[in-house]
Amino acid sequence: MTVGLLLKQARESAGLSVDEVAALTRIRPQVILDLEAGNLVSSGGIAYARGHIRSIAKVINADPEVLVAQFNQEADLSSRSMSELLADNSATTRHSDSPNISYKKLSIAGIVLSALLIIIPAVSSFFHSTPKISKPTPQPSATAHAVTTPSPASTSAAPVASATPAATATPSVAASASPAATPSVSASVVPASTVSFKAVNANSWFSVTDSSGTVLWHGTLYKGATESFNVTALIDVTIGNAGAVDVTINGKDAGVSGTIGQVVHIQYGPGAKS
C-alpha cells in the first residue's frame, strides 16, 4: 500500500474530509488530494511533500515516522535504475568496477618479469653445475664401514620405537573425553517459534526488525500475501494497517492487532510484552 492510500485511509478512518484537514494543517486541499494520489508536483518537491505528510499525519492520528519511512522508500525506488533494484533483490549481480591499471604499473611489471626471466635460468644453471665438483671423492668404502659398525646402536633404537606408542596413547584419552562435553552445549539452545503475518482483507505497510535494530523485512504486504519468521529472540513489528493483518504463532491464530487504518508497534518472541 502506497503512502497516498495510507493517508487517504487514515483520513477517512478519522472521519475528516479533505477540506477539514486543509483547514487544520493550512495545506491547500489540492495538495492533499495530489499527495493521496501519489502526485508530488503541487507539493513543490520531495522535501516539501515530506513536511506535508508529517503535518497531515498528526491531524489524522497516524504515525508520521512510519508514513515518512514509507515515503522515503518509495521516493528512493522511483529514483533508482531497474538494474539496481534487481541487484538489491538478488535477481541480478552487481557489475564490479574494473580496476584502473596505469601504464606506469604495467611498465614496472614488465621490467620485473624480464629480470626474473634472466635471473631464474642463471640460478638454475649454477645449482646444476655445483654437484660435478664434489663427485670425484673416492671414499665410499670408509663410509660403508662406518655404517656397518653401529650394530649395537640398532638394539638401543628398538626401545625408542617401543616408547613412542606409549606417548600416542594420551591423545586417545583426550579424544574420547571430547564428545562427552558436546551435549551440554546443545542443551542451552532456545527453541524457535514461527510467527506468520497474512494480509487477509487489504494491503498494509509492514516492517520487522530484530533486537539490534537490523531490518529483517519491510515493504508492502499485499492482500493474500504471507510473511513468516523463525523467532529465537525478540523482534519489533510495525504494521501500517493493523486491521488487515492476521497474526499466527506456531500455527495458532492470534487474530489482528488493531483496526483498519491503525498503525501499531508490537513485539513478538521471548520476553515480549503481552
What is the reported pLDDT for 123? 67
- Residue 256, in any domain of the structure: yes
Q: How confident is the model at residue 187 (pLDDT cuts 50, 70, 90)?
A: very low
Paired strand residues for 197: 227, 247
Paired strand residues for 238: 207, 265
Residue range of the domain that includes 71: 3-81
Asked whether the beta carbons of 244 and 199 are under 8 A apart, the reply is: yes
Taking only the tens place, the pLDDT of each residue in 211-226 is: 888 988 888 989 999 9
Q: CATH number of the domain that 11 lies in?
A: 1.10.260.40
What is the reported pLDDT for 231? 86
The radius of gyration of the chain from alpha carbons, rounded to an integer in Å, stands at 38
What is the reported pLDDT for 77? 57
Taking only the tens place, the pLDDT of each residue in 10-57 is: 999 999 999 999 999 999 999 999 999 988 888 888 889 999 999 999
Number of residues written out for the chain: 274
Higher pLDDT, 257 or 176: 257
- Residue 182, in any domain of the structure: no
- Residue 220, in any domain of the structure: yes
Higher pLDDT, 112 or 97: 112
- Residue 94, in any domain of the structure: no
Paired strand residues for 255: 247
> Which single residue is written with the C-alpha cell 532456545?
190
- Residue 98, in any domain of the structure: no
What is the reported pLDDT for 145? 43
Higher pLDDT, 146 or 38: 38
Percent of the chain scoring above 90 in pLDDT: 26
For residue 240, the Cα-to-chain-centroid distance in whole angstroms is 24
The grid coordinates listed for 41 are 508536483
> Where does a domain end: 46, 81, 116?
81
- In the chain, the number of structural domains is 2
- Residue 211, in any domain of the structure: yes
The grid coordinates listed for 8 are 487517504
- Residue 159, in any domain of the structure: no
Q: At residue 193, does pLDDT exceed 90?
A: no
> Where does a domain end: 49, 81, 113?
81
Helix axes 46-59, 18-25, angle to 10 degrees: 100
Q: How confident is the model at residue 191 (pLDDT cuts 50, 70, 90)?
A: low
What is the reported pLDDT for 152? 43
Q: In whole numbers, what is the pLDDT of the chain averaged over residues? A: 74
- Residue 59, in any domain of the structure: yes
Q: How confident is the model at residue 65 (pLDDT cuts 50, 70, 90)?
A: very high
Taking only the tens place, the pLDDT of each residue in 98-117 is: 455 666 777 788 888 888 88
What is the reported pLDDT for 248? 93
> Where does a domain end: 27, 58, 81?
81
